[in-house]
Structure 1
Amino acid sequence: MNASNITGSNDLGTEELKQQEWKVRTELAAAYRLIALFGWDDLVFTHLSARVPGPEHHFLINPYGLLFHEITASSLVKVDKEGNVVQAGGIDRVNPAGFTIHSAVHMGRDDAHAVMHIHAADSVAVSAHKDGLLPLSQTAMLCLDHIAYHDYEGVALNLDERERLINDIGDKNMLILRNHGVLTAGGSVPECFTYLYFLMKACEIQVKTPTPYCLPSDQAIATTQEQSQSLGKASALTWPALTRLLDSKNPGYAV
């Protein structure tokens, strides 16, 4: 399937916008399959989303019921900011908790074109740690300046939580959801996934670190945080490599 096959009540109006939407669909489907490839998925639960190019407040999210390694560009569901399905390529239901979390970030941050939320075990373990993410590794220190925290309120079905969540994330690109998991936001799917990769790697290292552990100096931590300001730009290198990996392991997402 190509961009011209994407039709529905929300006609983007121009061929250019249709092509832009298809690019976002392909990148988001690839991200879903990469999550599965890295073992960060959770059956049919957790969510990745991306804003649809164009003037409408619509975004793409997974159809509730497909495993992440099954997601394709055309199977993604388009919803509006109220969670109503605008267009579906098959399964037309979405997880209401996923809508609550993702709509909060998309609606509250104009720069959040992609949002990724997962429950990978190591991320949940760190989210339950009293001190959160510790500066135990270079990877963690590269994340520290990008991280915010949001306290657990129960399964995210209450739309009132959206305001508190967006207040907590502020202008950060990484959010540790206490006792729950992690979330990243980015200006594109590749950037968002790159933030997620660094955050997950930092969590994995922390969980594996024995005690007593060695902490770097405050100066080293501050220096690394300063060096981390362009972390999202690493996606220019990481994303082409990741898609080559996916093409060799689980092709077929761009249909």
Structure 2
Amino acid sequence: MNASIDNVLRYPEVRQKVSVEEWEQRVNLAAAFRLCAKYKMTDLIYAHLSAKIPGKPRQYLINAYGLLFDEVTASNLVTVDFDDKIVHDPTGLGVNPSGYVVHGGLHKARADVQCVMHVHTMAGGAVSAQSHGLLNLTQHAMRFHNRVAYNDFGGTATNNEEAVRLARDLGRHKVMILRNHGLLTCGDQVREAFELMHYLESACQMQIGALPGGKVFICDDETAEKVASHFDKPNRVGPTKDWPALLRMLDRIDPSFRD
């Protein structure tokens, strides 16, 4: 990484000014950006992920407006408060205005949500344009059976009315398909929000791949509910194993997300 890039991406003084818990949250959120980049869940500089700051329930971290997902690091994340004011922005790039609407609105509405991810992907966008929404075609899709909210497109997310509508339509769900727009997930950890997004996008890719091939078999609701209920179990072992494995992969590829 050359010196000019280093000046934009790394701010070592930030780590000295935040709590251990906040730094861990920053590292995890930066990792989620890198993972989205690896799995091609990006849209140049225009999508956004956010996470509340531990110990500061009215503040959250979000990406600077102008960085690609693979440029996000733990130290260059921007701190924003619930009044849509930037508390700290080491980059000076500011925040995408729609970030205040999508993320600020949902963080305010859902005290249980620690992380919100909103992306514009090819398959997610395609399914968002299909009137039937996500179909029970695969196990990946069935884990979301009766657990997906839908939000009708009302134009770009740039006003407070849209923030209210997003929160209303999401309700108590953790997954939402924004019709004619994209995908949104949230979780009580960064790990959970990323896992949901990864499998939601995978389910969309499978659906887009299957439908042009002719008649498809849509699984019955009873079976789909069994699948979804399995993934709802609080004692599943997988969630304790997948995130450390993903972080190890990122460390092998490029550990700079930790900076």
TM-score when normalising by structure 2: 0.90
C-alpha distance in 2, partners of 1:195/1:85? 28
- Say which SS state the counterpart of residue 83 (structure 1) adopts: coil
Q: What SS does the corresponding residue of 1:49 show, helix, strand or coil?
A: strand
Tell me if the contact between 2:15 and 2:75 (Cα under 8 Å) persists in the aligned partners: no
Listed one character per residue, the Cα deviations across residues 164-215 of structure 1 (whole Å, up to 9, x for unaligned) are 1111101111010000000001001011111111111111110110221112
Query: Structure 2: which 5+ residue stretches go unaligned?
Result: 1-11
- The SS at the match of 2:185 is strand
Counterpart CA distance in 2 for 1:231 and 1:180 is 31
Secondary structure in structure 2 of the residue aligned to 1:228: helix
Equivalent residue letter for 1:206? Q
- Among 221, 226, 229, the residue aligned to 1:226: 229
Question: 167-176 or 82-91: which moved more?
Answer: 82-91
Which residue is 1:89 aligned to? 90
Note closer, same or farther for the CA distance 1:152–1:232 as it changes in structure 2 (3 Å cut).
farther
Unaligned runs of 5+ in 1: 8-17
Q: Secondary structure at the match of 1:73?
A: coil
Whether the aligned pair in 1 keeps the contact of 2:145 and 2:225 (CA below 8 Å) is: no
Asked if 2 retains the 8 angstrom alpha-carbon contact of 1:75 and 1:88, the reply is: yes
RMSD between aligned residues: 1.7
Query: SS of the counterpart of 1:184?
Result: strand
Q: Name the residue aligned to 1:185.
A: 186
Aligned to 1:13: none
Looking at structure 1, the residues matched to 93 and 86 of structure 2 have their Cα atoms a distance apart, in angstroms, of: 7
Deviation of 1:251 after TM superposition, in Å, equals: 1.8
> What secondary structure does 1:130 align onto?
coil
Aligned length: 245
Identity across aligned pairs (percent)? 38
Partner of 2:118: 117
Q: Distance in 1 between matches of 2:131 and 2:235?
A: 27
**Paired residue for 2:251, among 231, 247, 254?**
247
Residue of structure 2 in register with 1:5 after alignment? 16
Partner of 2:8: none
The more displaced of 139-148 and 18-27 is 139-148
TM-score, normalised with respect to structure 1 = 0.91
Measure how far apart 1:104 and its partner are: 1.3
The one-character-per-residue Cα deviations of 1:48-91 (angstroms, maximum 9, x if unpaired) are 00001124510000000001001000000001112211011223
